[in-house]
Amino acid sequence: MADTQKCAHPACNCKAEPGSRYCSTYCHDAGKTVELSCNCGHPGCAEELTHSG
């Protein structure tokens, strides 16, 4: 078993923080909300939101 598991947020691809089921407070708050994309702000997540740069 891995110590780190995926964030519980369906739309998030980040790894959850130790002792938490979510990678960030954003996902913890949006955990019950179904979203098309994640806005946790972590790099590599929600790539569709990247506009430029």
* Among the listed residues 38, 44, 51, 53, the single contact to Zn ion using CB under 5 A: 38
Instruction: Tell me how far, at minimum, the Cβ of 49 lies from Zn ion, in Å.
Output: 10
Contact indicator for 15, 6 with CB cutoff of 8 Å: yes
Residue length of the chain: 53
**Residue 45's closest CA among 6, 10, 14?**
14
Binding mask 3-22 for Zn ion (x = CB under 5 A): ----x-x--x-x--------
Residue written as token pair 């098309």? 36
* Among the listed residues 15, 40, 50, 52, the single contact to Zn ion using CB under 5 A: 40
